[in-house]
Structure 1
């Protein structure tokens, strides 16, 4: 079943429910209002008539068919008798007086009905009286008391003809209105849905034509200012993200292939040269050392690629615990001092404050090692590297500042990209595949922190690593 068919089915059911709900509400509301009107009219006539009987005008005689009784009701109540009647009945059930349009005997009441009247209560009852009409009559039986003595009761009846006419009129109205309303609603719903579905079908057709090599394409956005326009804009934003992601994947694959192909080429060249002629043991040893260096470089690249792949798949667990940040930095800087001396760079890390963070010590060592090593590698002869711990309201900040070559302004936003090197001309001399800072960024963000870089080309750089403080 298509979405269009499902929509029309649910739309029709909803329209039927709404129309039915309001139709029944209108019907029962109108009928209730009519019935309440009749009941109130009967009651008011009963009360007024009772008052006339208990306090009659002078020379007034109560008798069945008495014209004066009819005239009195008409004069005082405006009751003409065309749509109902009034009858006075004694307590023993005899008709004492009635309007001239009624000659039938009183409606017989049971002992239970009389007991109700004797308690000064009234009640209504619907019956058929051919003398009045053929649609039925609603009668109000109302007690007559004089000085707390039960004298009899009133039969005040009104025709139900108007209620029947109203009921039939409403039924005829619903028979006409409901199909017309249903048809118009369906027509409008179908038009609106078809108009909206047209854009969806167009979008579906356009997306089917897209391939991995055509992610630069964008779907035309409708001019309407509605949710459909937002959908098209969201699709275009998604396509832009996919285009960027695919470009990064292609670049990543190309860079990874290049980084792995370079040491393999060197190894192959070294072996071919060694096999061309007899060489001394020392020469063979030099060749093997060079091959071993390239193998180590390949191993580091593969390990970094594996780490990045697992990080992207969220398969690496960060094992956090409470550690002293200054202890890790003191130990690490002491080890890297040898490397700094070999590069003729001074490494300063004195008076680090005693602070604790909640982190994975092995991963933090990896971050600090990479950043401090870079500060030493990309420094000038006789340069300096300063390691310090500062803090703000929410974080401890490890700052690594160097007096090295610095980073160009246009490269700062790219240094955390995979395989990116700011100084590509020195990559073989300094080493590295351009994955270190990308891994550092992932590790720090996994700890809820971030890395900030400030640099002036030719003067040095400052890397600030923000790590959240332990909550109290």
Structure 2
């Protein structure tokens, strides 16, 4: 029960999946290592023991080259001590001549170098392997023989098998503890990363992971922090782009709405004069009433068509400016000279000859902009100033230059415009004069064209009432 509660507590605190995977891997690796010991350790030990004995026996053979029995005996004693075996020396009659630390009974035989001998047979058993080495002492052949006991190899395997349950229990406990601490140490930062990643998924980048190591987890934490900063920066940029895009879409929609209103207004403006001209022409064809006087009404029809032609030209010019393929080329030109020439042309008109002109134009002011657009807009403003003023009214034209740009203004003694009407004057076909008379109120498109051209040229403008009249300002900073 305690073990079950402990496991439940562990699983509540760490990821069970990582815990059991770690535990399983430790057990599998341990089982493989133990199996390798069972399979390879006995043979490895046998080869090692055999090689060691062979090296010791070769040293005895090497000692026989001195042709001294004492040297051979001393080498055999050392061989026996180092390897815990009992080698013995045989003569050609297969009699034991010498066994380390064993006294043999003295017998006579054919060499003066040997003082005792014992006949021996050397049968091999299942638990041992006999090894013989040939050597000569003073030309007399001898044989050194020893046995390699393979019983310890079987004992090693048996001991390993007997120790297996205890070893398995120890490994299970050790693996369980290791898996617990490893998974806890591994999962804790991963759970923290998961929490931060969930916040990042909800676009919350306020929390940053601590980097306490340089291992894979530390590097992953560092990369997550960098990714959070990059995502936050990208999100801010996207929000800015989205705001700009929304503004552009709103602008496009406003322009589309303006375009629709403009088309509607154009249709209305063209409908009346077309109907008027068609009626006059039809009456002249049938010689109805006063329309028998064709010369008079042909002249009126022609004047009406002229107004329509001028209106169509204005609309075409606006359409050309609004098109995306219009090339807004900029050049440097003399604005002062253009203003002086435009004012002079308006003064030549008979109806404007009595206007009092105050010229405050600073000479030689050069500007860099789209010359046709700027000149057309300013011409409309100057023409309106003369058109909506009376004889002997004052018109003041000024142009000055500053360190950052230039400023143009034109003033006339016209009656004040109602404040609520000032901004509406820049709408297409809007007129202060509500009768619709083109002679007194114009077409209502002049200031719309002016505003369009000035905005395309990136120029600021303002129409305002003054104490005694109206002033129009255009400037660039």
The normalised TM-score by structure 1 is 0.48
**TM-score normalized by structure 2?**
0.48
Larger radius of gyration: 2
